[in-house]
Chain A
Amino acid sequence: MRIFKRLVDIKNWQRSTKTVAIIIMAILALVVVLSVINVSEQDMLNHASDSVNQIIEKEKTSSRKSLTITYNNLGVVSYISFTTSGASAVKESYVGFAGSIYGADEGTGKFVGQMVNYTYRMLGSGENLLHGVKLTLLLTTLSMLIGALMSVFLALGKISENKLISKISSAYIFFFRGTPLLIQMFVIYFSVPGIFGFSWRSLFAAADPEAVYKGAFIAALIAFSLNSAAYCAEIVRAAIQSIDKGQNEASKALGMSYGQMMRTVIIPQSIRRMIPPLCNEFVMMIKDVSLVFAISLMDITTISKTIMTSEGNYLVFIPALLIYLVITAIFTFIFGKIEKRLSIYE
């Protein structure tokens, strides 16, 4: 479509975009350099103190392992910790940055080490798609796509002249905007399976260790899609009705049917007006997705809360806030550019 071609036409990007692009490239270059010169995993392993190395040697032959080695690599900075449980509990951690290794057992080192470890876990690194930031983005994107698609039909239904269709669409929108998203999610996750006698988990193979998460993901996806469809429907409806009535009259005078008019005249013009509020809805949904902590999906929020309860570290929410801020900033920037590009139209 013409709209997409215009978006990708780099030559027409304004100077401000070029400036931002250069800054981003500079930051990326710095990140790459820091990652390349950072210590390797092997170096971090070798840096362990003698007592830890003794334990490692001993455990190579024994069947019972009491030593846990956690290694988190965030590219620019990395973290490693050696922990044993039992009578002689040992804990050593180190932070690797810009080619040097620093102790992370106390003071600033400990703080940095913890932040690296929490950020790593909240990003969902080292786990499958349904963890951390990956889960947040996946759930938001899919829910918005499905919800936006449904909302077009809901909006057309609400303004339809058919009284029945109009009433049903209005009722749907009224219900999903009038009840809390959290309760909607609970109903779909708990009540629906209970009433109909199945469980979300059972939709997946019994042996699958991720089955609980996959089941909860499906339930969450359904809840968020249904919910966003209602909010987006009002956005779409407002955009359609904001088109000058003269367009309707001209189409009628030319003999076009309602369907032809909508398809070729009204909806193409209203898409431009829908984009800003729909993008806003997307950015809002990123935060709404944090509600999945209530159905045990491992979102950023769930992970940070888990860390809070298991390690008692109340500072874990700071990286959580920062991660959300960065995600929101990136998407707000992208959508702002999309808006600017589409306004060249008229």
Chain B
Amino acid sequence: MSDYQYILSTEHLYKSFGSLEVLKDINLSVKKGEVICIIGPSGAGKSTYLRSLNQLEKITSGKIFIKDELFLHREHNRTIHRVEPEAQKAMLLEMGMVFQRFNLFPHKTVLENVMLAQVLVRKKSKEAAEKLAKEIIERVGLSDKLDVYPSKLSGGQQQRVAIARALAMEPEIMLFDEPTSALDPELVGEVLSVMKGACETGVSPCSASPTRWALRARLPTA
């Protein structure tokens, strides 16, 4: 991978839902290792912005760069330029997302949740996926819940599993969409410390230096 200045940047990003313009001319550049917080009132467009990055929403206009490479360019709801599907898949894999409502797979155990995408998408062997899954699950403090189903966990525990699941894909960019807004105040702390740990230590067991930065969107807590 060639050297790049910004791991992620957007230029003149607009997003409208019909006639409602939510994002107006968003310009943001993020360097590797940076942690960005987006704060604002409800309905301001924080979630929309994050979701536009990993293509859960299609932007109306603007450019998205990943590692200085033009990922997507749209004007007035028409795609001007988009990278090849193969490259697009690879670039999207660099982004992991943690959702407000966790979105864990309820029919799979904690271990299976964290292993599933590794095997299917990263094409790892079951042993390798299990090994990494167990390491990350231990790092979020849930080693004793490997074979438990999500419905038996508390909100804080579920969100930690969701973080582990996203980190298991070893992305270079992590998107946290209001990760603690569905949690009781007592549980927020445990999730935040896990997030901090993920940012600081880097999850990839081979490297010692941090290799990721995180983009967080949450309401300012009083």
| Chain A residues close to B by CB (< 8 Å) | 244, 246-247, 249-256, 260, 264-265, 268-269, 345-346
Contact A249 B92 (CB under 8 A): no
**Residue in A closest to B94 when the chains form the complex, CB atoms:** A255
What string of 1s and 0s marks CB contacts (under 8 Å) between B148-172 and chain A?
A: 0001000000000000011001000
- Kindly provide the distance from the CB of A207 to the nearest chain B CB, expressed in whole angstroms: 54
Q: Is the CB of A255 within 8 A of B105?
A: no
Contact A246 B107 (CB under 8 A): no
Query: Which residues from B are CB-within-8-Å of A268?
Result: 107
A-B contact count (CB 8 A): 54
A2 to chain B, nearest CB (A): 9
Whether A345 contacts B121 by the Cβ 8 Å rule is no
On whether the beta carbons of B56 and A246 are closer than 8 Å, the reply is no
What would 11 more interface pairs be, CB under 8 Å, given A254-B169, A256-B117? A247-B103, A249-B103, A250-B99, A250-B104, A253-B96, A254-B121, A255-B92, A255-B169, A256-B120, A256-B121, A268-B107
* Contact residues of A: prevailing secondary structure: helix
14 A-B pairs with CB atoms under 8 Å apart are A246-B101, A250-B97, A250-B99, A250-B104, A252-B55, A252-B56, A253-B95, A253-B96, A254-B117, A255-B117, A264-B116, A264-B120, A269-B107, A346-B106
| Chain B 66-112 interface residues, beta-carbon cutoff 8 Å to A | 89, 92-93, 95-97, 99, 101, 103-107
Is the CB–CB distance between B121 and A246 below 8 Å?
no
Complex CA gap A309/B54 in Å reads 72
- Please measure, in the bound complex, the distance between the C-alpha atom of A346 and the C-alpha atom of B56, giving whole angstroms: 27
Residues of A near B121 (CB, < 8 A) are 254-256, 260
A255 touches B107 (CB 8 A): no
Contact B54 A253 (CB under 8 A): yes
Given contacts A260-B120, A264-B116, A346-B151, contact A253 B106 (CB under 8 A): no
Closest to B90 in A: A255
Contacts A246-B99, A264-B120; is A253 near B107 (CB within 8 Å)? Answer: no
- Taking CB atoms, residues of chain B closer than 8 Å to A264 are 116, 120
